[in-house]
Copies of this chain bind each other. A is one copy, B any other.
């Protein structure tokens, strides 16, 4: 089995840390990466500060195969991600001639310095084009620089997804009527027999149907089915509400 591609995510924005905006990009990207067979190893949410962005992006760029940033890209005073990524990779910010031309064509006489800041990129940025998108995605070494606006973030992730998709995980879900404390020993025994199984146990309070949702995952579908079989042997039949 090939080594799993790893990823880190850096979410940039005082508005997330101060609770004024709920970050929906992280759960979206987490699901997309999982479905693509990429292992998301870390997410960090940091304020709009160049040094902080540089430190987090630099660390994750070294530690993981791919890095995604979310937020801090735009024409306003608090958009510092480009400068932070530049500091992380040790290269200057330059105005990209192709993007500047596109912005001047688009805005015509109403173009301003603030608007032209959208053409500022880290030197050596690859512009990842997609026919459906108005503006290309910036790729700096292994760092995808994505905007924080959820609609655009999703559109861009969809457009670049085929660049990093590898082998997917297989998932089975078992809903259980017993408390987590009651079934813990059976989970342990299943893991002893299938140590490579990824087993999750998520209690749900006040749910009339089930008490715990168990997730079983593997990239090997036979291994997964055998592990599921073992778990179902161990659980009392009446404890299982249903499977997915």
Residue contacts A-B, CB under 8 angstroms, 22 given: A14-B200, A16-B30, A16-B43, A17-B42, A18-B217, A19-B27, A19-B32, A19-B35, A26-B45, A42-B45, A44-B44, A76-B201, A77-B188, A78-B201, A107-B181, A112-B181, A114-B185, A115-B184, A118-B181, A149-B205, A151-B205, A152-B205
Which of B22, B46, B114, B203 interacts with A74 by CB under 8 Å? B203
**Size bracket, chain A contacts:** 35 or more
A33-59 contacts to B, CB under 8 A, are: 33-35, 39-47
Q: Indicate if A94 sits at the interface (CB-CB under 8 A).
A: no
Which of B21, B44, B75 interacts with A180 by CB under 8 Å? B75
A19/B30 in contact, CB under 8 A:
yes
Q: For the complex, give the distance between the alpha carbons of A75 and B184 in Å.
A: 7
Which of B44, B185, B203 interacts with A149 by CB under 8 Å? B203
**Across the two chains, which residue of chain B brings its CB closest to A16?**
B30
Q: Indicate if A120 sits at the interface (CB-CB under 8 A).
A: no
B75/A21 in contact, CB under 8 A:
no
